[in-house]
Amino acid sequence: MFDIAFLKVDSDKAYEVSKAHGGDKVLEKSPDTAIFYVVDWNRSSNELVWHVIYGDSRDNPKLRVAVDASSGDFLRVEK
């Protein structure tokens, strides 16, 4: 659970940020790639994070990008 006040950036913005960090290359190679969105609370950093996941499953994605759900800033490409 998280405080909804931390959610200031919607999935559209998270998608745009993820495209700039590798998502555009994934879609260029495979335009029909499924995209999943997961938002969760990171307890260690005390922040809400969008995970934009490119691929057929959350467990084995082609690309997974973390975006700060409060500021819209790129956080990292997740392995």
Q: What is the CATH number of domain 4-77?
A: 3.10.450
Question: In the chain, pLDDT over 70 holds for what percent of residues?
Answer: 100
Q: Which pLDDT belongs to residue 78? A: 95
Q: Which pLDDT belongs to residue 3? A: 84
Domain ranges of the chain: 4-77
Q: Which residues, in sequence order, are CB contacts of 70 under 8 Å at separation 6+?
A: 6, 7, 8, 9, 47, 48
Tokens of 25: 């290359």
pTM: 0.93
The length of the chain in residues reads 79
pLDDT in tens, 8-27: 999 999 999 999 999 999 99
